[in-house]
Structure 1
Amino acid sequence: MHISAKADYAARALVELACDTARPLTCEAIASAQGIPFRFLKSVVGDLRRAGLVRSQRGCEGGYWLGRPAEEISLLDVVRAVDGEVITLRGEPLAGLDYPGPADGLPAVWRAVQDRTTEILADTTVAGLVHAAAAAGPRVPAAGAA
């Protein structure tokens, strides 16, 4: 299994936006808060905007907000916005996958992995991640962390 950097950064950006809904956040602020490369985040936020998961405002008071309530944004929405398919095999969707002979049962396993992954992602919302972090309390840096 591979979770793309785009999906990870997109989810982290949305959680950051969900934590501070009083004002728009700039890409610079999100990148700094989450330790994400700024140029990469700009591309990711563009994908999120096109998918309606964030909205933007230009100008000195500008930045990004969530495009809809955090309760209505699932990780499945995020992955599909930036990566398209949830799981692919060598870049191809699993739908038409078929193997001959003794490996003929393997595509069903890959599709089951996709189905369960999709279910987990669909059941996990940005709001749920924010609430879980709030319930856990402030994080204490690991020993030796800067």
Structure 2
Amino acid sequence: MRISARADYAVRAALQLAASEDDEPVKAEAIADAQDIPHKFLEGILNDMRRGGLVQSRRGGNGGYRLARPADTISIADVIRVVDGPLVSVRGVRPPDLAYTGPAASLLPLWIALRANVRQILEGVSLADLAAAQLPAEVAALTDAPGAWTNP
């Protein structure tokens, strides 16, 4: 599975907003600087997040962006879906819409299982969890598995 730059930047921007202590709007430039994200690219991402109902924006000298709802109600899956669409697709098609024949027929349950596991992790972690550096125990346990931090 690949996480696009767009999804990575969106989650990082959302975390920057979640960590904002005073709930005042944060300027896109400040987010871009804090997270080393290209400003123009970030503006497009923030607009998608606004249209998706994850952030609110305010214009003017005291303007900027803030989360549209509490960080503990926004999952990492919510953020990724708003900027990239479905969490798991095969050739741009959602797994339930695929059809295979012959020996490849067993691929469909594999893709469905993959999607279920990705959903379980990304829907089970909120912005608040990450902003507090507190992964849910079942997710944190996955990082303890032998080989979790190495590439085969």
Q: Could you state the TM-score of these two structures normalised by the residue count of structure 2?
A: 0.84
Sequence identity percentage = 47
Contact conserved, 1:21 with 1:65, CA < 8 A, in 2? Answer: no
- 1:142 alignment partner in structure 2: none
Contact conserved, 1:25 with 1:65, CA < 8 A, in 2? Answer: yes
CA distance in 1, matches of 2:104, 2:96: 16
Task: Write out per-residue CA displacement over residues 93-122 of structure 1, whole angstroms, 9 at most, x where no aligned residue.
Answer: 111212111111011101110111011111
CA distance in 2, matches of 1:75, 1:45: 15
Task: Write out per-residue CA displacement over residues 49-73 of structure 1, whole angstroms, 9 at most, x where no aligned residue.
Answer: 0111100110001000111000000
Q: What secondary structure does 1:102 align onto? A: helix
Task: Write out per-residue CA displacement over residues 74-97 of structure 1, whole angstroms, 9 at most, x where no aligned residue.
Answer: 011111111111111111211121
- 2:119 alignment partner in structure 1: 118
Q: Does 2:12 match 1:19? A: no
Q: Could you state the TM-score of these two structures normalised by the residue count of structure 1?
A: 0.88
CA distance in 2, matches of 1:5, 1:67: 23
Q: CA deviation at 1:21?
A: 3.9
Q: CA deviation at 1:9?
A: 0.7
Q: Post-superposition, which runs of at least 4 consecutive aligned residues in structure 1 deviate over 3 A?
A: none
CA distance in 2, matches of 1:65, 1:42: 13
Q: CA deviation at 1:130?
A: 0.7
Aligned residue pairs, count: 133
CA distance in 2, matches of 1:79, 1:14: 11
- 2:57 alignment partner in structure 1: 56
CA distance in 2, matches of 1:40, 1:95: 32
RMSD: 1.1
In structure 1, the gaps of 5 or more residues are 134-146
CA distance in 2, matches of 1:63, 1:75: 22
CA distance in 2, matches of 1:85, 1:130: 24
In structure 2, the gaps of 5 or more residues are 135-152
